[in-house]
Amino acid sequence: MPSQLTYDVFVAEPIPQNVREPIPNGERRMFSPLSITLISGENDAVLVDPPLTIEQTEQVAGWVEASGKNLTHVFATHGHGDHWFGGAQLAERFGATFVATPGTIEQMRLNVALRPVFWDALFPGQIPQTDVTAVPAVDNMIELEGHQLFVVEVGHSDTDDTSVLHVPALSLVVAGDVVYNGVHQFLREAAGDGIKRWHEAIDAVAALEPRYIVTGHKNEQLDDAADRTIAETRSYLNAAAELLTQEDTALGFFNAMLQRFPDRLNAGALWGSATALYPEPA
Ligand SMILES: [Zn+2]
């Protein structure tokens, strides 16, 4: 008989970015909190979305060690560096296999290429060595003590080629950045039909009918209720789509979104979205 599965989430606290200028509401520019998920059986475990920096990777390694579980797989939902840069080191340390979809592996390479101008600029000297060691999961499936964990490709959400991990035994989806939970959503890649395609990615998650969703960025005070997180992620996208037609400037969009979503964490992420959606004329 397969063993009972459980899941735990490690939330890495927001860290400051190497940006001197405050955002329009006066806050320092921070990075959103990161959720790292450990799905455990009796002896073995699978880790989803390793963190970004050397220090966070050390903390997560200590957390996995303290669990006493044997880590068999590390899985990354998508190619943004905040969901995998520590992955190769964690996989090596625990003798685990690092897996991701072929599309995500391609996005990983693009994020490595972006390191000098983006990731290292924001976090100088803090990012680990980022060799792309992930391989595709055989049959889009990870086995954990007789249970099947399914890698589900959902296309564009907050970036291209994103995926989620479905754990039917727990009625759980580990959703990466397809669904958010109490944190401002990353809309820097939402221009064109990005918001429409993001809704389609959420449709794919909803079709799995999970009871719980661990989101890649969550306010740790909040629970993992699937219905609520899906509804809130959609309402944020709908508000953004509506305000994009009403507001003429990045600042106007930022202020209007902040007014509608005053409780979401990390207004800096919203300012990042606003400045990308309203590019300065060259
Ligand atoms: Zn992210």
Q: How far is the CA of 265 from the centre of ligand 1 (A)?
A: 13
pLDDT in tens, 248-271: 999 999 999 999 999 999 999 999
pLDDT at 279 over 90: no
Q: How far is the CA of 244 from the centre of ligand 1 (A)?
A: 22
C-alpha closest to that of 214 among 148, 151, 165 = 165
Q: How far is the CA of 69 from the centre of ligand 1 (A)?
A: 26
Q: How far is the CA of 177 from the centre of ligand 1 (A)?
A: 6
Q: How far is the CA of 2 from the centre of ligand 1 (A)?
A: 33
At 52 the three-state DSSP class reads coil
Distance CA 158, CA 221 (A): 23
Class of domain 6-277: alpha beta
Q: How confident is the model at residue 143 (pLDDT cuts 50, 70, 90)?
A: very high
pTM for the model stands at: 0.96
C-alpha closest to that of 14 among 35, 36, 30 = 30
Q: How confident is the model at residue 107 (pLDDT cuts 50, 70, 90)?
A: very high
pLDDT at 281 over 90: no
Domain ranges, ordered by start, for the chain: 6-277
pLDDT in tens, 158-200: 899 999 999 999 999 999 999 999 999 999 999 889 999 999 9
CA atoms 168, 174, 180, 182: torsion sign: positive
Q: Kindly state the average pLDDT of the residues 48-54.
A: 98
Distance CA 159, CA 84 (A): 14
How far are the Cα atoms of 42, 64, 167, 212 from residue 4, in angstroms, in the given order? Answer: 7, 18, 12, 16
Predicted confidence at residue 280, as pLDDT, reads 78
Predicted confidence at residue 3, as pLDDT, reads 84
Predicted confidence at residue 2, as pLDDT, reads 74
